[in-house]
Amino acid sequence: MTEKDHCLTKLSICLFLSVCLSCLSVTQGATSVCPDFDLDGDCRVDFNDFAIFVTQWLAQRIDCNSGYEDCDDYYYNGCETHVAADANNCGGCGIICNNLPNASMECIDGNCVIGECVAGYGDCDGIPGNGCERNLMTDPDNCGFCGNACDFHNAIAECQSGSCVMTGCDPGYANCDEITGNGCEVDLNSDPACTAYDYIGQVYGDEGCTPGPSRSSRGEKWYGLLVLDGSSYLFNSTLYLRVALQSPSGTDYGLYLYDNCGSGPIASSHSGGTLDQIDYSWTDNVGSDDSRFFYIEVRYFSGSSCSNWDLNTWGDCKP
């Protein structure tokens, strides 16, 4: 039996037998024989000390209310720590909510949670362990606030100072209406079929260098052109066709000539510069009509200029 248990037994006997006088002032010289049990500081072991000790003794044998713990090991002040809300004893004694990157921590319902993020940062994944992990000023997936993804149609998006900004177009697209809300709305690389050609007219291939039909547009196009044989059929000659494409600065187009839809080109020009030209010729036989129908393709390669290219044709222009 410990000294405290022994004293408790003595005081209990004194209390219940009402003969406490012998133990209320037991001394050895000028010193109390039970100094450890003098809990109220009056150098006497009396009923007050007994009541305090019993409170402590019983406190070791009861559960704390939910959300509270005895973290200082002083039983007489009960369950003094509110572990449901104490950031230094969160969910249990000695569990400290350490500050995490770009965040301050709080204890809520016994759990360490992020109380506040540093300005410009956000806890977007909901995981307290990595703090406020997103820079809301520069993150295009969380721009200005969590979950705000910068997205412009067919365009390159960035987050600048917490705002979504369109900084360019995806390859093959252009922003020609200058409205960011609909992104880069023009498809320059639409890849149309040759069957969707636009018939633009005719030109003579043997009656002097004469301008033929022309067009101005942007993006990929197919055109149909008829080159006529205007000779008198009295002698062999040559028919000529010239096609020229002037591309706008900042966009690269190529020029292709076909005599059959679905077959490979019979001539092409892709200089990588702004001017592409095809000169094509064939024999005009005596007594036959050697008129020919051609398909002209304007093919996109790169760039995002909204300016038009210019397509021009000529008949009987010799190289």
Q: What are phi and psi of 60, to 5 degrees?
A: -70, -10
Phi first, then psi: what are they for 205, rounded to 5°? -95, 5
Cα 226–230–233 angle (5° rounding)? 130
161 burial (CB, 10 Å; 0-12 / 13-18 / 19+) is: exposed
Phi-psi region of 219 (alpha: psi -120 to 50; beta: other; left: phi over 0): left
pLDDT of the residue at 286: 84
Per cent of the chain over pLDDT 70 is 80
Per-residue pLDDT in tens (0 to 9) along the chain, 319 residues: 444 444 444 455 444 433 343 344 444 444 444 445 566 667 776 777 666 666 666 555 556 888 898 888 776 677 899 999 898 899 999 988 888 889 888 898 998 888 889 999 999 998 878 899 999 999 999 999 999 999 999 999 999 999 999 999 999 999 999 999 999 999 999 999 999 999 999 999 999 999 999 999 999 999 999 999 987 666 778 999 999 999 999 999 999 999 999 999 999 999 999 999 999 999 988 888 999 999 999 999 999 999 999 999 999 999 8
Give the closest residue to 54 by CA, choosing from 75, 33, 73: 75
Token pair listed for 51: 């009541």
pLDDT of res. 38 = 60
pLDDT of residue 252: 97
Question: What's the pLDDT tens digit per position in 135-194?
Answer: 999 999 999 999 999 999 999 999 999 999 999 999 999 999 999 999 999 999 999 999
pLDDT value for 16: 41
Residue 271's pLDDT is 95
SS3 296: strand
Provide the terminal-to-terminal Cα distance of the chain, rounded to the nearest Å.
122
| pLDDT at site 157 | 96
* Domain annotation for the chain: domains and CATH numbers: 3-59 (no CATH), 80-131 (no CATH), 136-186 (no CATH), 194-315 (2.60.120.380)
Distance, in Å, from the CA atom of 210 to the CA atom of 230, rounded to the nearest integer, reads 13
Q: DSSP secondary-structure letter at 125?
A: S
Alpha carbon separation from 155 to 19, 160, 166, 185 (Å, rounded) = 95, 16, 7, 9
pLDDT in tens, 266-277: 999 999 999 999
Residue 100 is predicted with a pLDDT of: 83
**80 within 8 A of 90, measured Cβ to Cβ:** no
The pLDDT, as a whole number, for residue 145 is: 97
Residue 196 Cα to chain centre, angstroms: 39
Q: Return the SS3 of 62.
A: coil
Average pLDDT over the chain, rounded to an integer: 85
pLDDT at 1: 40
Neighbour tally for 281: CB within 10 Å: 14
Contact 39, 7 (CB under 8 A): no
Residues forming beta bridges with residue 50, ordered by sequence position: none
Q: Residue type for 131, please?
A: G
Burial of 249 (0-12, 13-18, 19+ CB in 10 A): exposed
Q: Which token pair is 213?
A: 């039909």
